[in-house]
Amino acid sequence: MNAFHIGGDLEVRRLGFGAMHLPTEPGPARENSLAVARRAVELGVTLIDTAYMYGGGANEELLVEALHPYPDELLVTTKVGVARSGPSGEWKLDGRPDVLRDQVERALLRLRVERIELLQLHRIDPETPLADQVGTLRDLRDEGKIGRIGLSEVTVDELDRARGIVDIASVQNRYNLLDREHEPVLAACTAAGIAFLPWRPVAWGGSGATAEVAAVAAELDATPTQVALAWLLGHSPVVLPIPGTARLDHLEENVAAEHLQLTPAQRDRLDALCEAA
């Protein structure tokens, strides 16, 4: 299936777009970023991932310039919980309730929405009780400022504890063809019907240089990137890859991977790569 319902009701196309790598500085690079974001929507992408940390809100503002007013079917999901609160103003995890609340309020203004349909906690702050962090997001949901709540870079235990406090609609962990450290988390999400958004879904320098991936790509007249994305889409029905790029040709290559069909034998060969890695 090419569609998934986040939280059971919010329908998105399974292959999304990660906006992190889009340059936001004024000039030709920014104009290209605007073109890439708009082209993603033209190609049918309905899930775009951003975060406050990506430029301190600059990435969110770029997407607003490119896409607002948003098409009805478009979901722009953002993340909070990282702030410039270190000793020298460096980024650090900060899940204190007042910080999370302030970041959500500012995100609503930047994104020009009344409700963030999917809001993810960028990381769990080890210095703040999990119940305080997730509880704050639950309160914001109850106030109508958040539609659904997600987590990022969590363990199975952390996911279980969070689900004891509030419904969790998504998890965003690092995961790809050769990096399956979070397979237990994906299994938990699959069992519960929770959307799993793998970040770094294509680990080139790793799987891009793997002979087996190149061989499968040649058999399908595809690229290694497309093979890696197709593998993710077929690995679990809850996987929603969000490959990012600042190049139009790479964007079109990524989106086309949605239609690539791996044979059972090819999938078996790719499944075995993790064991050999």
* Catalytic positions: 54
Give the helix ranges, DSSP H, for the chain.
Answer: 28-42, 58-67, 97-111, 130-142, 156-163, 183-192, 211-220, 224-235, 248-256, 264-271, 273-276
**Whose CA is closest to 148, among 109, 210, 195?**
195
**First-to-last C-alpha distance (Å) of the chain:** 29
Compute the C-alpha angle 171/239/117, nearest 5°: 50
Fill in the DSSP letter of residue 257. G
Checking DSSP bridges between strand 82-84 and strand 75-80, what pairing results, if any? unpaired
| C-alpha dihedral sign at 265, 173, 12, 67 | negative
d(CA 90, CA 171): 25
Q: Do 115 and 144 form a contact (C-beta atoms < 8 A)?
A: yes
**Whose CA is closest to 196, among 227, 130, 242?**
242
